[in-house]
Structure 1
């Protein structure tokens, strides 16, 4: 867990004071809405359908228990008693009053938190693998590198007003779990001749034009990482569109220039600054490492008296939870545990203030007071002694936070949708609940096996529907809600090493393909069920996943089965987007 130094704290406190004055001036009529908009966005404040929405930064998804308790306090005092964890590893409050936001930011500053650069056309929160630092397959712990990027990018004057928002992801493991292929810049740690470096993918992203990033440099030595990032951003800043926000993302520029030309221009800029002041030294890396509080593992944990296997044999519910929600750890005797925020009937990613307090207590009691937020909108207890897993499961069961569905169909990723977001064309949360109820039988869920299902309420793809094995997109037709369905997407590759170094497919990511015309809201859960039944009839074995079958047979058998079903035979015809 990174601990602020005096400069960090001073920066955050000064930002709070600035925004408090800006908000006062707006409420007093001294600033217009247009003047205030850019100021509030720089502090993570949006205007949603019913109320302002405040997005709080959780840098690279790491939370201390004391910070989670503060979030719970904010939810009770200034919101409606809950928070929503997003796919960007941040938390959002959907109901604060504008006049209270400066007080919320001041409260956050007391526990080294803020909302800086959670919005606006700047470098947003750098994200990483939610198992960072504990994953057995890591080449390097990416947390330090994320913090280096955070410090470099925060309030960077050259990149404060980019053509559009900009997102960076870092993976330190052999298997990408940070979705590097669908970020503006994706970094994958790699070793060459005994040296550490990073593969660099550029131009990935979802939204209106989903594109998988292109490999523009197979190996940038760690010392040169910041200068290379600066060169890549400088080319974007120079040539990115500012006259059309729909064509302003870096993915459009890379596509228009071609990846080869973009890489060439980056190299030209890089030669001007390589070896300059932003070159990373070992001394600086060591300084950043020293600002972290690292877990002090007990070497005796491997010898703990552990009756987990016997308890699992006696209790099927516990056995299921072990199978889906407990993950390998690099230290013998420990495990990482996913706290599922996907119980049926609960909006994906939502957690109450009482649950936050309880999970903070569990983080203290079963770990080192540290939690992670995952891209899948769940929480992670990263350092649990294996001998205490049954004890922890019992506590989570009492909190309705032990649903054994991580990696399964009902572990749905969803944006807040039309219930909250002013940009949404359709609701997401009721559709997610309908699907959860359709597949609420755990026996059937485990028979289906690994499957990612993502839902977005509009083309901005905050629910990352493009990379779901099954993706659902809310669209508008004559003021009515309809839903497009895609299959075959993925945010990363299979659980195996990345392709050879010349591969340009970022981390194995792929964009799903639309199966056909859209469906009414009350049809969506049935359509998913039809897709699942088709998959079960086509798979060669219980080990063959849904995504593997789609890769093997294509989308046509699924499309034929859905549209030949009388329940879905005459869906409303909608124009398909250009990427279809």
Structure 2
């Protein structure tokens, strides 16, 4: 966990006081909604279909127990008793009254969390792998570099009014859990032949109306040059990115139109003018940030302790363990993923009581640390194996032990037309109905790893383009229809899904998805061939022929 100082606390308190005054002026009529809009957006406040929505940043997906408890307090006191975790490792509160927003924000600021730069045309919350610092796969902890970028980008005067919003993701593992290839900038930490630590830099990724997979413009960037190179990218984008058309303003459009090679050339020219200057990261600077991360004081423990071996005789625990528990870099410890996708519930939602439970479990067993993944699940990254049985019992009692992580009913979905003013169609009810179709866990496990992503509009907050099965809500003659894509993925082999065929009605979607999955079960080369691999081998035509024949 990163240890914030007095400067951070004072800064947030001042920001809340400033926003409180803005709200008073809005309520009195001194500010119109149009005048208030840019001020509220700077603090993560949106006007949704039914109410204002407060989006809170969770930098690189890391929370401590007190912060999660405070989020539970806000959900219980100012909202309707729950919060929604998003694909940006943020949390959203959908029902806070405008007059109560400053109090909610003040309560959150007391524990070091805020909504600054969770909206607007600026550098948004920097995201990472939710297993950062715990998985043995990493060459370094990417949160160190995400924190450096957070400090660099917060209220950066040159990049507060970019052509469009800007998103950065970092990974340090060969398997990409941070979806770096579909971000404006993706950073992959690795070591070169000389053992030096650096980044592969990808630019121009992104989803939405015009989706692209990012292009690599520098195979190896020494870590000391991170900020100067990012600044060079931002300056090129700020200068040449379009401002005349909101739909063509993202950096992905600029990279596509001039080409990755020309873009890289412009960045290198800008970089040569600033590298080695004030943005050069010295060893001392890096060490200072690294030193402010407090790591658990792990005990030397044996793998597979007696408590775990005995508990694995319980079939329900063993099922959860195989699905939700992952290898840790320290012997005797594990990474635990907590599914926020119980069958029938909105994906990514957690009640205030559940947040309190997870905070207590983090304190009791996990060194007070919680992570948020872009899959809209939570994670306890540092759990002793001997504590897993008791952890599971308490999760199960709170309705948080659904063993469906990465299975067909672990669905990513945006809030859709139930909340969002931009949406064309519902997403949450579609996800709930599909999950019910696959509620039999034996069936879901037999299907294997399969990611379904649902977006209620073309803005793609549900990342439907990179779902193994992607579902996009569209409006046709005032009715909800849905386009289906197959074969997308967001990992190190990222690719966009292929359209299956004509859009289908709201009522047809669950049955069509079930037909797609049944077709996969018939066509796969064997029980170990994953859905994504079957689609890669056969293409979408065999699915299209069978599915549309039935509809």
Q: Same fold (TM over 0.5)?
A: yes
Alignment length (residue pairs):
550
Q: Aligned pair 1:219/2:224, yes or no?
A: no
Match of 2:363 in 1: 364
Deviation at 1:521, TM superposition (A): 1.1
SS at match of 2:346: coil
Match of 2:60 in 1: 60
Find runs of 4+ consecutive structure 1 residues off by over 6 angstroms. none
CA contact (8 A) 2:303 2:331 kept: no
- CA separation in 2, counterparts of 1:220 and 1:74? 42
- CA separation in 2, counterparts of 1:89 and 1:150? 14
CA contact (8 A) 2:129 2:178 kept: yes
Q: Aligned pair 1:535/2:534, yes or no?
A: no
SS at match of 1:485: strand
Match of 2:195 in 1: 194
SS at match of 1:158: coil
SS at match of 2:95: coil
Q: Deviations over 1:277-298 (max 9, x none)?
A: 0111111111112222211101
Match of 1:573 in 2: none
Deviation at 1:562, TM superposition (A): 0.5
CA contact (8 A) 2:121 2:165 kept: yes
CA contact (8 A) 1:306 1:386 kept: no
Match of 2:39 in 1: 39
Q: Aligned pair 1:509/2:494, yes or no?
A: yes
Match of 1:578 in 2: none
- CA separation in 2, counterparts of 1:475 and 1:67? 37
Unaligned ranges ≥5, structure 2: none
Match of 1:451 in 2: 450
- CA separation in 2, counterparts of 1:22 and 1:6? 25
- CA separation in 2, counterparts of 1:24 and 1:96? 16
Deviation at 1:308, TM superposition (A): 2.2
CA contact (8 A) 1:139 1:174 kept: no
Q: Deviations over 1:432-454 (max 9, x none)?
A: 01001100111110100000000
CA contact (8 A) 2:303 2:333 kept: no
Deviation at 1:309, TM superposition (A): 3.4
Taking the TM superposition and a 5 Å limit, the aligned residue runs for 1:202-213 are: 202-213=203-214
Match of 2:29 in 1: 29
Taking the TM superposition and a 5 Å limit, the aligned residue runs for 1:411-430 are: 411-430=410-429
Q: TM-score, normalised by structure 1?
A: 0.94
Q: Deviations over 1:514-556 (max 9, x none)?
A: 1000111111111111111111111111110000000001110
- CA separation in 2, counterparts of 1:362 and 1:448? 31
SS at match of 1:139: coil
Match of 2:460 in 1: 461
Deviation at 1:315, TM superposition (A): 2.2
- CA separation in 1, counterparts of 2:14 and 2:290? 25
CA contact (8 A) 1:417 1:424 kept: yes
Deviation at 1:120, TM superposition (A): 0.3
Deviation at 1:304, TM superposition (A): 7.5
Q: Aligned pair 1:474/2:459, yes or no?
A: no
Unaligned ranges ≥5, structure 1: 493-506, 569-580
Match of 1:497 in 2: none
Deviation at 1:23, TM superposition (A): 1.3
Q: Deviations over 1:388-435 (max 9, x none)?
A: 211111111111100000010100000011000011100111100100
